[in-house]
Structure 1
């Protein structure tokens, strides 16, 4: 089975402190754009995806788009 990659588009840039927390909890995290509104997380299970979404919502980040792809 191919690894799963999740791409989340946020309404506003992700706070640097929150990004540090996310990188501590999940292994493969990147923000490819300069503005920090896209978050890419790789190789996590569904429970981790839910935890990530709850963390984003609890910290006031609006998720505009959520896409799952197979690498």
Structure 2
């Protein structure tokens, strides 16, 4: 199964609790972006992408953009 890098732009800051969960589950880098927060998640498969998006949506975060990037 191919692993990829994804960049998610999220409106506003991501809560500390959610970032802690993401750090526990995935290798990632979080950086402030022009419209909110940009999460870059490396080495992630399709099932993990779905879990990450569900986590963000379930915790009230708004995903503005979602892109696959070259690793």
Query: In which range does the TM-score fall when normalised by the shorter chain?
Result: 0.7 to 0.9
How well do the aligned residues superpose, as a CA RMSD in angstroms? 1.9
**Structure 2 gap segments, 5+ residues each:** none
CA distance in 2: counterparts of 1:33 and 1:58, whole angstroms: 21
**TM-score normalised according to structure 1 size:** 0.86
Aligned to 1:21: 21
Structure 1 residue 34: Cα displacement: 7.4
Give the ranges of 4+ consecutive aligned residues of structure 1 lying more than 6 Å apart after TM superposition: none
**TM-score normalised according to structure 2 size:** 0.86
Instruction: Name the structure with the higher strand share.
Output: 2
